Amino acid sequence: MTDRTLIRGGIVVTVDKSLGELNGADVLIEDDRIAAVGHNLSAEGATVIEAAGDIVIPGFIDTHRHTWETSIRTCAPDYTLGAYFAAILDQFAPKYRPEDVYAANQWGALESINAGITTLVDWSHIMNTPDHADAAIKGLQDTSIRSVFAYGFPNTSIQTWWFGPDYAGSVERIDGPDARRIRSQYLADDAGLITMGLATRGPNFCKPDVVRYEWELAKELGINITVHVAMDRFGYTKGQVRALKEMDLLYPNTTYIHSSHLLEDEWQMVADSGGNVSFAPQIELQMGHGWAPALEATKHGVPIGLSSDVATTAPSDQFTQMRAIFASERARRNGIAWDTDTDSTELITCRQVLEWATLGGAIVAGLGDRTGSITPGKKADIVIIDGSAVNVAPVIDPVAAVVCAADVSNVKTVFVDGRIRKQDGRLKAHLATPRKLVEASRDYLVGQVEHQEGWLTTAR
Ligand SMILES: [Zn+2]
């Protein structure tokens, strides 16, 4: 029997260009799919959710998060990217046990659903053993969030895994046999709730033969690559995208994270090869990666998704990312106008920002065909924002209300894959046990690192 739910009378922002924004409209969900969008839909036998005055949007997509770091949330508020490498990846990551990865992934996924994020790209560079990989996937499975599990490399020592001997590039590879095991054991179904990607380091961090091995592994497994490029000084002088082109490794649907300092010809290379970008604007601004150059991406027709990156240093919700890029990209453009004594004619808009947080993110995650907009036939990943909240009402422009006024506390109701996961402000999950696990993990990890290295006071 078909399970039917009608979201009735809301301000529906579909983020689907052919459907637009509909006032006082209904969304009909049948099982895991959006069945119809429009006015006065008849829905006999459906469970009705009244949404008059509320704003109905597609679920947010976080296109890059190191979810395993949730157990050490906000341990590094003042860090630069360099300090982060030294403290988080060198000191903390090698101490992680499988249960720490499980606790962090479960808690991070619950946090995501609570914040209206219905799809999470888990950039999991904590594959220290096969048990770590199993634990990461179980953490996602146990929350039933839609996710892309981006299988990464072990983080057992930064000297080996990121920079290699004398910063000339790592000689260590992703564990190919274990990646193949994960693909066949858990993630063989590309239409499943959890799908697979490959989280790689790429040129500048790895020897060329390692880069080639990992790119070819992704091709063999039939999965997309996600890679950090052009951030801080790590990518600027070396031209990572140029290096990939020289190696003939510019694969379609590759996600280039940060891309703060991509060169003009590299933007064209990303565009020509069918790549996309994930900006983590709050982190990029705060830690020194650089700007989130959305105007360059849009100029080249490169799809944009937003991401939270690390919970060690900034909030993980998409309201934060939307406002960070909205302000910073306009500030950057206005700065250029001031410096050149010209007018700021090119400014991004709040509609573009909401699109990047939803449909753009879905495209970046490789899931644009099934989520990211309120389109009949797509999966029912839907969020209802409380339009009557004290910080949201009165609503004039629903998109502006979401981008410029709302926050996590206004995420009233959340559907993932047609299932209601948060209703009237209450997450439909028991939080006590997951919280105990993540707090125990925090105690263990902080204890390990403090006692051994004293980094909390010194690694700034
Ligand atoms: Zn990252």
pLDDT tens profile 197-246: 999 998 888 889 999 999 999 999 999 999 999 988 765 456 899 999 99
Distance CA 231, CA 316 (A): 19
Ligand 1 midpoint to CA 59 (Å): 22
Indicate whether 81 and 211 sit together in one domain: yes
Ligand 1 midpoint to CA 240 (Å): 16
Domain-embedded: residue 396: yes
Averaged pLDDT for residues 113-141 = 98
CATH assignment at residue 157:
3.20.20.140
Distance CA 293, CA 279 (A): 8
Q: For the chain, percent helix, then strand, then coil, each to nearest 5?
A: 40, 20, 40
Ligand 1 midpoint to CA 377 (Å): 32
CATH assignment at residue 36:
2.30.40.10
Ligand 1 midpoint to CA 284 (Å): 10
Does the pLDDT of residue 279 top 90, yes or no?
Answer: yes
Of 35, 42, 15, 7, give the one whose Cα is nearest residue 384: 7
Indicate whether 65 and 44 sit together in one domain: no
Query: For residue range 368-406, what is the model confidence (pLDDT) as tens digits?
Result: 999 999 999 999 999 999 999 999 999 999 999 999 999
Residue type, 85: F
Indicate whether 32 and 70 sit together in one domain: no
Indicate whether 295 and 377 sit together in one domain: no
Indicate whether 152 and 163 sit together in one domain: yes
Beta-bridge mates of residue 120? 62, 147
How would you class 244 by CB atoms within 10 Å of its CB: exposed for 0-12, middle for 13-18, buried for 19 or more? buried
Domain-embedded: residue 452: no
pLDDT of residue 340: 92
Ligand 1 midpoint to CA 285 (Å): 13
Ligand 1 midpoint to CA 278 (Å): 10
Ligand 1 midpoint to CA 215 (Å): 18
Ligand 1 midpoint to CA 138 (Å): 21
Of the three residues 341, 364, 387, the one that is the final residue of a domain is 364
Indicate whether 254 and 335 sit together in one domain: yes
Domain-embedded: residue 203: yes
Indicate whether 335 and 239 sit together in one domain: yes
Averaged pLDDT for residues 107-122 = 98
Domain assignment of residue 51, given as a range: 4-58+373-427
Tell me the average pLDDT of the chain. 93
Distance CA 79, CA 94 (A): 19
> What is the number of structural domains in the chain?
2
Q: What is the DSSP string of 164-200?
A: -GGGS-B-----HHHHHHHHHHT---TTSSEEEEEEE
Indicate whether 20 and 99 sit together in one domain: no
Ligand 1 midpoint to CA 450 (Å): 24
Indicate whether 354 and 215 sit together in one domain: yes
Indicate whether 40 and 73 sit together in one domain: no
Domain-embedded: residue 442: no
Q: Which 3 state secondary structure label does DSSP give 64?
A: strand
Indicate whether 70 and 148 sit together in one domain: yes
Ligand 1 midpoint to CA 104 (Å): 16
Indicate whether 116 and 178 sit together in one domain: yes
Of the three residues 321, 339, 364, the one that is the final residue of a domain is 364
